[in-house]
A and B are shown apart, each in its own frame.
Chain A
Amino acid sequence: MELHDLQLIARRERERRRRIRIHCCTSSGCLASQGLEIQKRLEAAVAEAGLEGEVEVVGVGCIGSCGQGPMVEIAPEGTLYEYVRPEDAEAIVAAINGGECSVQRGDPLRPFFTRQFPIVRKNAGKIDPERIEEYIAAGGYRSLYRAINEMSPAEVIDEITQSGLRGRGGAGYPTGLKWSTVAKSRGDRKYVVCNGDEGDPGAFMDRSVLESDPHLVLEGMCIAAYAVGADQGYIYVRGEYPFAIQRLQKAINQAKKFGLLGSQIFDSTFDFRVDIRVGAGAFVCGEETALLASIEGRRGQPRPRPPYPAESGLWGKPTLINNVETFANIAAIIEHGPDWYASIGTESSRGTKVFALTGKIHNTGLIEVPMGITLREIVHQLGGGGHSGSEVKAVQTGGPSGGCIPASLFDTPVDYESLARVGSIMGSGGMVVMDNSTNMVELAKFYMEFCKDESCGKCVPCRVGTVQIHHLLDKLTSGKGSPADLDQLRELCQLLRDTSLCGLGQSAPNPVMSTLKYFTEEYERLIER
């Protein structure tokens, strides 16, 4: 494989294409609502109408507005159909030539779409994720070519550092710094690991990226491996995402066949293999040291850091761990340059962030927005406000490790520091909207129940503390709580935050502490009763 081969594949792919493409969402959400059947019926309808020379039906990744799914888009003109049923196929095809079609249309010019800034999701909903040719035609693997042939590993790391990209798994550690540490660590072998153990309930960004554009993640990993000097990679994906795993495996096989993974990539001396590791239902494995233990076939229990995985990771070797979305940003940074990337977002948080907007909100779905956008813009403009017109009360970011932000603070810009300042975290991108019907103490209990079930049991504060906190919340919600219980709740929250071994335990109190802070009256009302 050489650059001109890549260009040839892209050209052939473009020539092969029909003038009109019917994009049919086949990502998990729409798939669950007969997405594949719709695709089949559309194909049949196109054949029936004799339009095969002009129109093609393409199964694409997530279009974004999952709540209105199944979605179908007519490209390039942009007509969007929502809540499509298999029996709508004929009408949709007929409408291409001016026929009548009563299927509900979406407005591609509504803020949900126009306020987005797609980098990670630039191909999502536009290409068939199961065909590497489509990715290549969209410019894919050119950044990898450039990195290997025109840049030294140090130059790649410099560009990532200058771009200001920070870890999208939630903690926001500078990506370039991490890469440089792994590059400098001594080891006869190094590893690159992609954390796709998206465990936060209410989050599905990584699933969607893996299902919609798996090659984007592979290309990012490959560039990272070249930069840090690794020859083996692992993608750790939740077992709950069978479809993402299937697509990823297909993508890996295709990339290997095309000489873009494996030995002598782009006919260079650079080798990189990638294997999938499937999680088995343990939230704590999203914590990097637990994830490594799990890849090694052990119980997913975290260990104290330092040493950090960058120095001593998989089998004691230097290991780079980044999240799916972080890797998905890499190709674009190499393609457009670090200055372009750094010009998006805010001073401390560059670039974009993908969020899964769910809960009591009008527009459920996936969005990619520039950092610095306010919560109000996300909830009210992109999200269209509360579900069936209800009043939005709070938004929860960061899952069980994050906090609830009340509507009064919706002018908070979305960046790592601002969200931390209001007692939450950026997290991996789950954004669950609550309206007035949500009981915040019950919600805190819901999260604590999650944490107690997911505590690995290694360290005492998390193992027993989560159970005790859950017990206190249960006492409160059943009307048996006392003011002393509130004090004890606060005391235990502080203990967990300060003394737990890993991030799961340290952040487990966040949903309780943030609701205690912003919705104190809901707690107090339970005591007075």
Chain B
Amino acid sequence: MAAKTLLINGTMVSAREDETILEAARDAGVKIPTLCHLDGLSDVGACRLCLVEVGGRLRPACTTTVSEGMDIRTHTDALKAYRRQIIELLFAERGHVCAVCVASGHCELQDMAVALGMDHVRYEYLAPTCTVDISHERFGLDHNRCILCSRCVRACDEVEGVHTWDVAGRGTSARVITDMNQPWGESETCTACGKCLLACPTGALFKRGATVAEMEHSPARIAMIVESRRVRG
């Protein structure tokens, strides 16, 4: 495996040739924000938070592989402003109310807002009607808190190998669904393994019975499962 030399924020770093910018930056101690990326899952480049500047053009760090001599800027003022706008758009899209959320304090969306200094939303709240599905005996789904990152869909498909989840509809009316859009508890394919909960960045997927701030996700466990599966061969 050949190594590549590139510049990240003016510092020379080396990276494996098959690494993405996101991985190379992390190895170099540079944290690039993301919401739809999760170690162990395939990348879709959907949240657009990890956009970085490469030679004057914006590229998603999660799906762009490194190349020799790349000149990457990860935190320009323009990028920071764009990221804040994207988080604002997400907060405006559905009913994200941290004060009553099971994941408050353990939420990647909330953390991101804090890290990017987004203290208020300037856009119109779209306030769509979102349902809460507590038909499953162990788990619940609150569409108000879903950001359509599709990590649950990928975890279920790629790690558990079932594909109970998918996305229905399009645009802002898109919703994650189980099977034929039936209540989760009535899904015939769900194995109740809980990997979707591990993968969820917000309080959208939660353990039933959890109250405010009690729901801790463990996204790193997805990576552990995938990595140990790989090592075992």
Contact = CB atoms under 8 A, between A and B. Distances in A.
Contacts of A459: 45-48
B58 A460 contact: no
B123 A468 contact: yes
Given A461-B48, A463-B172, A304 B60 contact: yes
Contact of B170 (A456, A498, A500, A501): A456
Interface string B58-99: 101001100000000000000000100110011011000000
A457 B170 CA distance: 5
Interface string B164-179: 0001011111100000
B230 interface: no
A218 B46 CA distance: 36
Contacts of B51: 499
B23 to A, nearest CB: 16
A458 interface: yes
Interface in A493-529: 495, 498-501
B120 interface: no
A459 B63 CA distance: 14
Given A460-B47, A500-B48, A501-B48, A467 B58 contact: no
Given A460-B89, A500-B48, A468 B124 contact: yes
Nearest to B63: A304
B208 to A, nearest CB: 28
A274 B1 CA distance: 40
Contacts of B58: 498-499
A498 B148 CA distance: 21
A455 interface: yes
Interface in A275-310: 282, 299, 303-304, 306
> Which of B60, B64, B148, B170 gathers the greatest number of chain A CB atoms within 10 Å?
B170
Contact of A457 (B86, B123, B167): B167
Contact of B171 (A456, A488, A495, A500): A456
A457 B89 contact: no
Contact of A463 (B63, B122, B171): B171
B44 interface: yes
A460 B174 CA distance: 12
Contacts of A457: 148, 167, 169-174
Interface residues of A, number: 30
A303 B92 contact: no
A491 interface: yes
A298 to B, nearest CB: 10
A491 B81 CA distance: 10
Contacts of A456: 170-171
A464 interface: yes
Nearest to A488: B122
Interface residues of B, number: 30
Nearest to B49: A460
A466 B89 CA distance: 10
B89 A498 contact: no
Nearest to A467: B172
A465 interface: yes
Contacts of A491: 85
B46 A495 contact: no
A500 B47 CA distance: 9
B171 A453 contact: yes
A452 B167 contact: no
Interface in B146-177: 147-148, 167, 169-174
A458 B154 CA distance: 14
A370 to B, nearest CB: 33
A499 B46 contact: no
Interface in A236-292: 282
> Which of B82, B85, B92 gathers the greatest number of chain A CB atoms within 10 Å?
B85
B86 A458 contact: no
Given A457-B167, A499-B58, A468 B92 contact: yes
A146 interface: no
> Which of B58, B64, B90, B174 gathers the greatest number of chain A CB atoms within 10 Å?
B174
A495 B87 CA distance: 12
A495 B170 contact: no
A361 to B, nearest CB: 32
A471 interface: yes
Contact of B44 (A303, A455, A461, A464): A303
Contacts of B46: 458-460, 501
Contacts of A463: 93, 148, 171-172, 174
A512 to B, nearest CB: 16
A445 to B, nearest CB: 15
Contacts of A452: 171-172
Contact of B86 (A299, A306, A461, A466): A461
8 shortest interchain CB distances as A-B pairs = A457-B174, A304-B45, A464-B89, A304-B63, A455-B171, A457-B170, A499-B48, A457-B171
30 contacts: A303-B44, A304-B64, A452-B171, A453-B171, A456-B171, A457-B169, A457-B170, A457-B172, A457-B174, A458-B44, A458-B46, A458-B148, A459-B47, A459-B48, A460-B47, A460-B48, A463-B93, A464-B89, A464-B126, A464-B172, A466-B171, A468-B89, A468-B123, A488-B122, A491-B85, A495-B86, A498-B58, A498-B82, A499-B51, A501-B45
Interface of A: 282, 299, 303-304, 306, 452-461, 463-468, 471, 488, 491-492, 495, 498-501
Given A459-B48, A463-B172, 16 more contacts: A299-B167, A304-B44, A304-B45, A452-B172, A454-B171, A455-B170, A457-B148, A459-B46, A460-B48, A460-B86, A464-B92, A465-B89, A467-B172, A471-B124, A492-B85, A495-B85
